[in-house]
Structure 1
Amino acid sequence: MLRNLAEMAWPEVARAVEGGCTTVILPLGATEQHGPHLPLATDTLRAEALAKRLTERLPDALVAPPLPYGCSDEHTGFPGLLGLEKETLARVVLDLARRLRDWGATRLVLLSAHGGNREALALALELLAKELPELDVSMNDNFESIPEALIEIASKDGLSPTELGLHAGESETSEMLHLRPDLVRSGLGEPGFTGDMEAVVDRLRSDGLRAATENGVLGDPRRANAVRGARYLDAAVERFAGELEAGRA
C-alpha cells in the first residue's frame, strides 16, 4: 500500500483512512546553508527520510509532503536562505491540520529535522490545542543537544561529540552521504566551530551563526561516512518512535 500522500490518488487516501490509516506524519525541514559541502535542502531531505523510516514503526501512518521552509534567521548572511517567521510557520501547520482533519485523520506527528523550528512548533501546538482539541498531536523535541544514541554510535568509531556537531558536522554529513551522496561536495567539508555545542546555541540565537563559524559548520565533517549515517537515522527514528509509543512526544 502506498503511504506517501504526494504519490497517492484521492480514492487511495480514502481507502487508507477507511482501513485505519488515520495518522499523518508531517516532515518539516528548512532551506538554509549547510556549509560549503551540503545542499540547502539538507534538513528537508533528512526530515523526509526520517518520516519514511517512522512509518515502519507506525503502520497506521501516512507521510505528507515535507515543508521545505522553516525558521532560519540565525543563518542570515549566508546566501540562499529562504525562511518563515515563527508565527507564519505555526499558522501553516494549523492550516494543514484543519484540512487533514476534514478527510479523516485523527493524529498528526510533527517531525522536524531543523532546530530553528522549535518555537514555531511549540506555538503550533498551542493553536492546535485550542482549535482542534480532538486531534492528537505529537512532535519530536530534541533540537539543542546531540542525542546520546548518536554519540554512542560515533564513539565506537573514535569520534567525539564536537565532530558530530549540531549543523553540517559529521552526523548530518554522514546522513547525507547515505541519503543523497550525489549532493555532497567531495573535498569541501571542513571543520567549523568545534567547541561546546550546547553552550553555543544561545550565541546563535542572539548573534547568528556567522558569529560562531565563518563556513557555516558546527562540527567537523571530514570523517563522515554513509554507513554511520544510516545508523544515525535509524537511531533517531528508534528514539522518537519509542517516545510516541510511550506517550512522551
Structure 2
Amino acid sequence: MRSPELAGRAMVLAVPVGATEQHGPHLPLDTDTTIATELCHRLARRVPGIVVAPPIPYGSSGEHADFDGTLSIGQQALRTVLIELIRSADRFNGTVFVNGHGGNLHPLGDAVSELRTEGRRVLAWSPTGPADDSHAGHTETSVMLHLRPDDVALDRAVPGVTEPLPELIEALRTQGVKAVSPTGILGDPTRATAAVGELALERWTTDLTTQVRTWLAE
C-alpha cells in the first residue's frame, strides 16, 4: 500500500510477530513468521477494516541458541520494539498482535500491558495446540506442508520429544531446547499432512477472528 491509501480510513493494524529459529532438520527457519503472517491475512479477509503490517521476523528465541541459524533479539528488546512500534501507530484504530512463537509470550504480554496503561487499544493472540506437539512437530509441519510444501524436507523429519510441554518447560528455560531434544523437535512430525495443516489454520483463524470481532465490539 501507499500512504495516501490509508489516509482518512478507519483501519485496525494486524502485526505478525514471528521468529527466526531452528525448526528441526526439516522445516525452514522462518516457520513461525510464515504462520503468523498467513493468519493475519486470513483475518483481514474475514474482518473488514484490517490492514496487515510487514512481519516482525525476530523474536525471543534464546532457548534455541545452540542450533545453527537461530537469531534472537531477546525479551527486553522485543518488548521495546513492540511498544515503540505501536506508539507510532496512533493513526490506526487499534492493533492486533498475531504471535507465532511461544518464546515471545512474556515480552508480548508485558508490551500489551504497558500499551494499554498508556490508553492504546491493543489485542494479542497466539495459536494453541496439543501440549505434546509444541515445536516443529505434527501440527507445524502439517501447516507448512499446506503453505510452503517445497520448503519442507519431510524425508528428514524424525520423531522428537513428546512429553507434555509443562513437564519440559523448566528444563527448556534453564538448559535450552537442545538439552531436552537433540533434534530440536518437540512432537512427532513424521505423519504430517497438508490436509491436517489446513484444518489447523482454519481452526486458528476461526478463533482469532472470533476474538478480534469481540474485541472490536467492545
SS at match of 1:25: strand
Is the counterpart of residue 13 in structure 1 residue 6 in structure 2?
yes
Aligned residue among 178, 182, 201 for 1:214: 182
Q: CA deviation at 1:46?
A: 0.6
Q: Which amino acid aligns with 2:97?
A: L
Contact 2:43 2:205 in 1 (8 A): yes
Aligned residue among 220, 226, 239 for 2:207: 239
Q: CA deviation at 1:56?
A: 2.4
CA distance, structure 1, for counterparts of residue 166 and residue 207 of structure 2: 20
Task: Find the counterpart in structure 2 of residue 187 from structure 1.
Answer: 155
Contact 2:33 2:100 in 1 (8 A): yes
Task: Find the counterpart in structure 2 of residue 138 from structure 1.
Answer: 123
Q: Which amino acid aligns with 1:85?
A: G
Q: CA deviation at 1:77?
A: 0.6
SS at match of 2:46: coil
CA distance, structure 2, for counterparts of residue 141 and residue 186 of structure 1: 25
Task: Find the counterpart in structure 2 of residue 4 from structure 1.
Answer: none
CA distance, structure 1, for counterparts of residue 116 and residue 43 of structure 2: 24
CA distance, structure 2, for counterparts of residue 54 and residue 202 of structure 1: 34
Q: CA deviation at 1:205?
A: 1.3
Q: CA deviation at 1:141?
A: 4.5
CA distance, structure 1, for counterparts of residue 20 and residue 126 of structure 2: 20
What do you get for the CA RMSD once the two structures are aligned?
Answer: 1.8
Is the counterpart of residue 46 in structure 1 residue 35 in structure 2?
yes
CA distance, structure 1, for counterparts of residue 82 and residue 9 of structure 2: 25
Contact 1:53 1:234 in 2 (8 A): no
Contact 2:154 2:190 in 1 (8 A): no
Q: CA deviation at 1:175?
A: 0.4
Q: Which amino acid aligns with 2:199?
A: R
Task: Find the counterpart in structure 2 of residue 70 from structure 1.
Answer: 59
Q: CA deviation at 1:186?
A: 3.1
Q: CA deviation at 1:191?
A: 0.6
Count of aligned pairs between the two proteins = 217
Task: Find the counterpart in structure 2 of residue 5 from structure 1.
Answer: none
Q: Calculate the TM-score normalised by the size of structure 2.
A: 0.93
CA distance, structure 1, for counterparts of residue 170 and residue 41 of structure 2: 32
Contact 2:100 2:126 in 1 (8 A): no
Aligned residue among 128, 152, 165 for 1:197: 165
Is the counterpart of residue 117 in structure 1 residue 104 in structure 2?
yes
Contact 1:189 1:222 in 2 (8 A): yes
Q: CA deviation at 1:166?
A: 0.3
